[in-house]
Structure 1
């Protein structure tokens, strides 16, 4: 693997990680706020819930925030991966068509050469 492709791969990984952090934080805040609201409403409307301990109520709020964090980060990563797959497939399709027009068989080696030519 060349130094340039390693650097590109590291940049892609860092970008995906940044997306996960932002989406996870947003999901944790949104779902955590919803959990806090649900616990507050349950505290004031349900006598059985009012008798529960504060650590249990905090556990419910933090559990909802953690669920929001995980779901938000996972959805962002899945969306990012799907977009990357779409663009990769479009590039490979264009490469296969161009290589076939030249009268060559579009093998992985030929596609890699085509990418190197296009990169210049």
Structure 2
């Protein structure tokens, strides 16, 4: 795995982890609030054992963890696809202007040249 791919994976993992924590905390608060409201407003629910109420709160927590992480990862991937499509479109236009057919190999070479040029400009 290349260094860039490893960095992309680590960034995606960090985004997913933070979103899971945030979603889990938010959903836990909602679940706990609903259980408290149900406990004080519904006598049948009040008679339920603590284990069942804990199960309901943990179900909310797990839901928040899973769907928070998944939605954040999908948003991140959509953003990356959008940026990659813009870059590929720019490569196709640039290669067409220079009279080169925009194959996958040529686009990869164009990206490499562009990255090297940006790196050279960044070092100056």
TM bucket (normalised to shorter chain) is over 0.9
CA RMSD of aligned residues (A): 0.8
1:20 is matched with which residue: 4, 13, 16?
16
The offset of 1:104, in angstroms, is 1.2
TM-score by length of 1: 0.94
Q: Distance in 2 between matches of 1:115 and 1:20?
A: 28
1:117: which partner in 2? Answer: 113
1:41: which partner in 2? Answer: 37
Count of residues in Structure 1 that have an aligned counterpart in Structure 2: 116
Q: Distance in 2 between matches of 1:103 and 1:14?
A: 38
For residues 41-73 of structure 1, the C-alpha deviation after alignment (integer angstroms, 9 at most, x for no partner) is 100110100010000000000000100011110
Runs of 4+ aligned structure 1 residues displaced above 4 Å come to none
For residues 21-53 of structure 1, the C-alpha deviation after alignment (integer angstroms, 9 at most, x for no partner) is 101100000111010000001001101000100
1:84: which partner in 2? Answer: 80
